[in-house]
Amino acid sequence: QTVVTQEPSFSVSPGGTVTLTCGLNSGSVSTNYFPSWYQQTPGQAPRTLIYSTNTRSSGVPDRFSGSILGNKAALTITGAQADDESDYYCVLHMGSGVSVFGGGTKLTVL
């Protein structure tokens, strides 16, 4: 069974930089899985941030960036702001047509 792993929680200071990661329980994450990232605040639907590893969705500030770091996908927030405090989810799209969500990372800005 494919399991996508994310840090359960992370904290960052305002103005700081944080990198959240997205891994696989077996194997490495590559661009072939089209990693995408979503931001969700309580009571709201997810918002698309990054797709195809490193492409920002329309309207997303450039302080959000995506990459592959080692064997994981990564979401980096540079110059974190208070309203970046949210849950962040990555999704990997397996070649079999199956999409797998990570467990999510709760980001605190303090």
- Give the residues lining the site for other proteins (CB under 8 A): 1, 34, 36, 38, 40, 45-48, 51-52, 55, 57, 87, 89, 91, 93, 96-104
| Shortest separation between residue 66's beta carbon and other proteins, angstroms | 11
- Of 13 and 99, nearer to other proteins (C-beta) is 99
Query: Phi, psi (5° rounding) for residue 31?
Result: -65, -20
Judged by CB, which is closer to other proteins: 48, or 108? 48
What DSSP letter does each residue of 14-32 carry, written as one string?
TT-EEEEEEEESSS---GG
Copy the structure tokens of residue 64.
């959000």
- Rounded CA gap, 23 and 39, in Å? 18
- Of 66 and 72, the one with the shorter C-beta distance to other proteins is 66
Nearest to 34 by CA among 25, 42, 22, 45: 22
CB of 104 to other proteins, least distance (A): 4
Instruction: Work out how close the CB of 97 gets to other proteins at its nearest, in angstroms, rounded to a whole number.
Output: 4
Smallest distance from the beta carbon of 55 to other proteins, in angstroms? 7
Question: Do residues 91 and 66 lie in contact, with contact meaning Cβ atoms separated by under 8 Å?
Answer: no
